[in-house]
Amino acid sequence: MRKPVIAGNWKMYKLLGEAVETALALKPLAANANHCEVIIAPVFVHLKTLADRLEGSNIKVAAQNCASETSFGAQTGEISAEMLKDVGASHVIIGHSERRQFYGESDESVNKKTKAALAFSLTAVVCVGEILAERESGNAESVVKRQIVGALGGLTVTDMERIIIAYEPVWAIGTGKVAAPEQAQEMHGFIRGVIAETHGGEIAEATRILYGGSVKPDNIAGLMKQTDIDGALVGGASLEAESFAQIINYK
């Protein structure tokens, strides 16, 4: 049985005070959510504070990126997976489409960063998803397959226990245009098939595949009814404790 994951990606939003306020407001609202794992991903500089303030709660803290290098070194502006672990992160989002689009992330860097995360026992939330032109030209599946195969290259069966996939069609991110549940299911089923090819059927069955892109309180239940949708990576609607709590408590 795959335990659902509801993760909030706070992107580059909130100053520290507001981040703490939202996290503390979320704590009681998420306290009875035993049916899923709850994660929030604030900006790097808020990780330590939020991890401390949420200690003992059922809310875990994720980073939104990490360096591909694993050892200390002359890498101005980078933050290693070890440093994230050290300040209390348990998860790290890797290869978000905004990083692929605006910061030159490639399948190769996503693979390196995923391995760096695993080296320090973080769980990697690896993001994939096609842009609108790729969907319209009928290439969505081939793009997503390339991203999955690229991200998971060289990972062992044991490594896969600490991998979560997030399928985020780029055309659905921040647009209010959520993928239809059946449309998302089709891609999730396809992704599971790709993982079965790369790592075997058992691993594919155990891997959580989250959907992301305009998830809101009023569409989460329909998405979660799909067999291969194991949770959500939520942007905008995770910024307020009340709306994020409604998504967490979709049942």
Q: Which of 91, 96, 188, 199 is catalytic?
A: 96
Least CB distance from residue 120 to ligand 13P, whole Å?
22
Nearer to ligand 13P, 194 or 244 (CB): 244
For residue 82, the minimal CB distance to ligand 13P (Å) is 24
Interface positions with ligand 13P (CB under 6 A): 9, 96, 168, 173-174, 212-215, 233-237
CB of 71 to ligand 13P, least distance (A): 29
Closest CB 142 distance from ligand 13P, rounded Å: 22
- Residue 234 or 241: the one with the smaller Cβ distance to ligand 13P is 234
What are the residues whose beta carbons fall under 8 Å from the beta carbon of 205, sequence distance 6 or more?
Answer: 2, 192
Residue with Cβ nearer ligand 13P (4 or 236)? 236
Nearest residue by C-beta to ligand 13P?
A: 235
Give 203-208 contacts, CB < 8 A, sequence gap 24+. Answer: 203/157, 203/160, 205/2, 206/2, 206/160, 206/161, 207/2, 207/160, 207/163, 207/164, 207/165, 208/2, 208/3, 208/4, 208/5, 208/164, 208/165
Kindly tell me which of 89 and 173 has the beta carbon lying closer to ligand 13P: 173
Q: Known catalytic residue: 141?
A: no
Neighbours of 172 (CB within 10 A): 22
Q: Which of 37, 82, 130, 168 is the catalytic position?
A: 168
Is 168 designated active site? Answer: yes
Q: Which residues share a beta bridge with 123? A: 91
Residues contacting 3, CB < 8 A, separation 6+: 35, 36, 37, 208, 230
Cα 213 from Cα 171, distance rounded (Å): 8
Query: Which residues, 6 or more positions from 189, have their beta carbon under 8 angstroms from its beta carbon?
Result: 227, 228
- Catalytic positions, written as ranges: 96, 168
